[in-house]
A and B are shown apart, each in its own frame.
Chain A
Amino acid sequence: MTDPDTVLPTISARERPAGAPGGWSRREFIKGVIASSATVSSVSYFGAGCAAPLPAQTGGVERLLSLQVNGQTRRVDVAPNETLATTLRYKLGLTGTKIGCNRAECGACTVLIDDMNHYACSTLTHRVRDKEITTVEGLESADGTLHPVQQAFIDELGPQCGFCTPGQVMSAVALLRSNPNPTRAEAQRAMSGNLCRCGAYDHYLNGVMRAAGATTMTASVDGGEG
């Protein structure tokens, strides 16, 4: 019995492009790219099959994208039907983005696309080639300072099992970028696309409101407005 809607649409069907059975594989191609020009940093994510000798590299170049992820330009090979969650987790090594359902039910895979929160499991990577993508790994400052939402989630003990937490963080960040001073009810609605089976909604909302306060204070200091 198969479960096609939840099979990872990953490193897989697009291994062998249509019409090229038994020809070069995408993975082998990537391996060649890595060897020649260090397109992607995370070689180990392509572990399986790496030992095969490299065939001639022809075609497929149009699948090489430049993605703007967490302020960096990342060159990555992406199949036409590949989801952003797959690209982030399996090609760019950004495993903070979780796959809880892989069908837009739970929100564990939430990332920002141009400051708007989206389900990465239901976003095709090719659709975001010209966008700014932010994952949970991209929030922390270089000096280790956490984003106010992250710090507030710690202070309010938002996470329990933690699996939904990256998605909750990203939805909260998106909310505060569009509405720095939400009411609790606005925050509740804005966060409602993120399930938490532990049921930690109260504590996450406390965190959002605390972060809103912190963000506002920072803004008022920076901007000199009350």
Chain B
Amino acid sequence: MSILVDKNTRLLVQGITGREGSFHTSQMIDFGTNVVAGVTPGKGGQVFEAEGTRVPVFNTVRQAVEETGANTTCIFVPSRFAADAIYEAADAGIELIVCLTEYIPVLDMIKVRSYLDTLNTKLVGPNCPGLITPGEAKVGIIPGSIVRRGNVGVVSKSGTLTYEVVFALTDRGMGQSTCVGIGGDPIKGLNFIDVLEMFEADPQTEQVILIGEIGGNAEEQAAEYITENMSKPVTAFIAGRTAPPGRRMGHAGAIVEGKSGTAEGKVAALRAAGVKVADHPDQIVDLIAS
């Protein structure tokens, strides 16, 4: 078992013919992901070829789903088309939408999220690295070379910081069940709590690593959830302890606003929930091992 993506994932790639879309589709196929279709409006009928696999390209998601039975999509389209790509996938009945695109306007995401909440569709992202289940499937851009099958679940707001932690885990022989990058935008799909709930229910996952950042209050909410609902041990790291207040550190969400969103507050809330919190990324592995 694992969560969200596995051998049953039938992946569609929106934006498959673009530079990033094509590079990372090859990487996903190479990892063993079952990529069944691509969509680029105007390029329907073309065939995308990589690693000996031929992937049909369609003009619309609806067509792709009808002809290939795709159940998951990975979105690589530019920000001005990204909200539409999410709506399109949701309307075509896709169950899991993974949106990597960054810089989607907040008001667009408010509408997207509000619409998705009326459907039975899950969204990961936007502005995220996607997710990966070692040995089964990779949806997004997390490097396949750094993961290893195992029983640690990883959920993170960050991209490259996640790679850092996963790499250290693998290096020490600690494999992962699934690694989920939920993204750092203020309005997004799955949040920490949603993923923690899935890890708690997943028999393969024995413990969880949570990687948070300054800004917002998702880590505090996660701490509350852990206290009340989690039996599996959770280890955490919060980035941005030295960030100056009032300055946005890259992600739209990563800003310390007045008294809220500070690293100290998040660390304290997590520790109060019995979570071990690392002082730096490399230390997470030591805390898990101990």
Q: Is B one of A's binding partners?
A: no
